[in-house]
Structure 1
Amino acid sequence: MTPAGQKTFTLATDLDGTFLGGTEDDRRTLYDWIEARRDSVGLVFVSGRDPMFIESLCSDGFVPWPDYVIGDVGTTVAEVRERKIHVIEPLEEQIAELWGGRGDAVRATLDGAAGLTLQPTPFRYRVSYDYDPHAYDGVAEGRVREMGLDVLISDNRFFDVLPPGVSKGPTLLRFLDHFGIAHGRTLVAGDTLNDLSMFQTGLQGAVVGGSEQPLLDATRDIQTARHCAAIGAAGIIEAIAAFDLHPEVHEVAA
């Protein structure tokens, strides 16, 4: 297998609405293109999803296995070996330190908070809620910030409490530098506001067609962020071709 830092191109992509978005034919085109070029194309899932979900997703044989996972909105960093996801401890040490074991304190502080329903998944370095914008009164954000933690509201339905300064973008940069992956040969892709920090890294990016309006507004003046016409997986192909990140992508680009 080609080492991560020596691959021609690396795709660091969100899942829902992005890598998993678009028609089945568009997804199959992208997935087959990647699978045929695993020696030259690196695949990193940068998602709010947890490793257990990703293992289940890829086990069906349709969605390709990634080489690495930056999950849980940037609080999990892992590699895939033998179709199992294994945490990369050196890249999680700082995240764990910044979190400081405050999960129980967050849950207690936000117990009964208006507009928030605790998600049952036992994340290690984040606490996540389903968010009702009509019932939410804004109090919870202040409580979280008083604890020295960050809040990320995305897709108008998720409320994530994260370690300070930790999100998809900063974790991805640390990951790329750790493995010697060239920034100029990397494409980030996303569709909601929890992907914004990836586009703020200076990496070339695909804001795929069908993205939520707040992300479109927030990335409008970021020169490296392409607002793609094509939706989901087709938007990723569109951006790879537009940025000329792989010599063989034009074979499948519209």
Structure 2
Amino acid sequence: MKFLLVTDLDHTLVGDAQATLALNQKLAAMRDRLSLIYATGRSYLSARQLKHEAQLLEPDYWITGVGTEIYHQGNRDSVWAQQLSDNWQREQITALVQGFPDLIPQPDDAQNPWKISYFLHSSTADVILTTLRLQLVQANLPAKIIFSSNRDVDILPLSGDKGLAMTYVRQQLQLPSEAMLVCGDSGNDISLFQHATQGVIVRNAQPELLDWYRQSQQSPQSEFFRHYWAQSAHAWGILEALFYFRWL
């Protein structure tokens, strides 16, 4: 049976060059039985540039834009794009957010048709985002808000995030969830861990992911999740988890 590795890029797979190289060598040796997915907040072009700079392996699939785009062999998945387009009102949501001056639009290359991204540097971020969620509901504008790294705000369709995109691809590959390891470090990776699968949180993870991890351990559903907080940072943590879960 093939093994599916789904990993975030920045501060997870990438961040320690020696660790990335060591992990790449292990993954290359098992490439014939490995399906590899990169799941990142970056755009597809930015992610490909990082792959070149960090000398990463070529994945089977790219999940980019926090799960709003899926690419396979250079082509964007049009079925996934159509699913996200249903009942997605991007212009109306953008107009509503203009009433929140603390939300600063990210550069154009960080945006896409199904992702609206902002910077938020405020000690009252939780209050601001709670108010925004309430106003979206009141305006009948279905959307989800993802806050990560204590600064990045991504507004997505309800049907889009890294975890849902990962599940879509896994079903395309016809692989069971138990044959999968997900890897991440920040709030936009939480959705990867919300599915019945094995997961590794690298040692250098952001507080919002660690808070979610601690809370999830108390959940009645925790028995369905097998998540491991690694002792090592970056790709060393992924390598550690591959041994921990006995994939190596």
TM range (shorter): 0.7 to 0.9
CA displacement 1:73-124 (0-9 Å, x = unmatched):
1111111x2xxx311222332112142xx22222222125132111122312
CA contact (8 A) 1:145 1:151 kept: no
Q: CA deviation at 1:38?
A: 2.0
Residue matched to 1:145: 137
CA distance in 2, matches of 1:154, 1:135: 15
Letter in 1 for 2:114: Y
CA displacement 1:22-54 (0-9 Å, x = unmatched):
x32111101122223321222101111110111
Secondary structure of the structure 2 residue equivalent to 1:64: coil
Residue matched to 1:110: 97
Do residues 180 (structure 1) and 182 (structure 2) align? Answer: no
CA distance in 2, matches of 1:112, 1:217: 29
Matched-pair identity in %: 27
Letter in 2 for 1:231: A
Q: CA deviation at 1:166?
A: 2.2
Letter in 2 for 1:11: L
Secondary structure of the structure 2 residue equivalent to 1:49: coil
More helix by share: 2
CA displacement 1:122-145 (0-9 Å, x = unmatched):
312110101112365514333333
Residue matched to 1:190: 184
Residue matched to 2:17: 24
CA contact (8 A) 2:84 2:159 kept: no
CA displacement 1:136-185 (0-9 Å, x = unmatched):
55143333333121111111111111101421112211221122022111
- Among 236, 239, 254, the alignment partner of 2:238 is 236
Alpha-carbon spacing, 1:160–1:34, altered in 2? closer, same or farther (3 Å)? same
Secondary structure of the structure 2 residue equivalent to 1:225: strand
Where structure 1 has 5 or more consecutive residues not aligned to the other structure, the ranges are 1-5, 250-254
How many residues are matched?
233
CA contact (8 A) 1:144 1:151 kept: no
Question: With structure 2 as the length reference, what TM-score do the two structures score?
Answer: 0.87
CA contact (8 A) 1:119 1:130 kept: yes
Residue matched to 1:134: 123
CA contact (8 A) 1:48 1:71 kept: yes
- Among 70, 74, 77, the alignment partner of 2:63 is 70
Letter in 1 for 2:117: S
CA distance in 2, matches of 1:170, 1:209: 24
Runs of 4+ in 1 over 4 A off after TM superposition: none
Residue matched to 1:171: 165
CA distance in 1, matches of 2:106, 2:123: 18
Residue matched to 2:80: 91
CA distance in 2, matches of 1:69, 1:197: 16
Aligned CA-pair RMSD: 1.8
- Among 214, 220, 224, the alignment partner of 2:208 is 214
Letter in 1 for 2:35: G
CA distance in 2, matches of 1:61, 1:170: 27
Where structure 2 has 5 or more consecutive residues not aligned to the other structure, the ranges are none
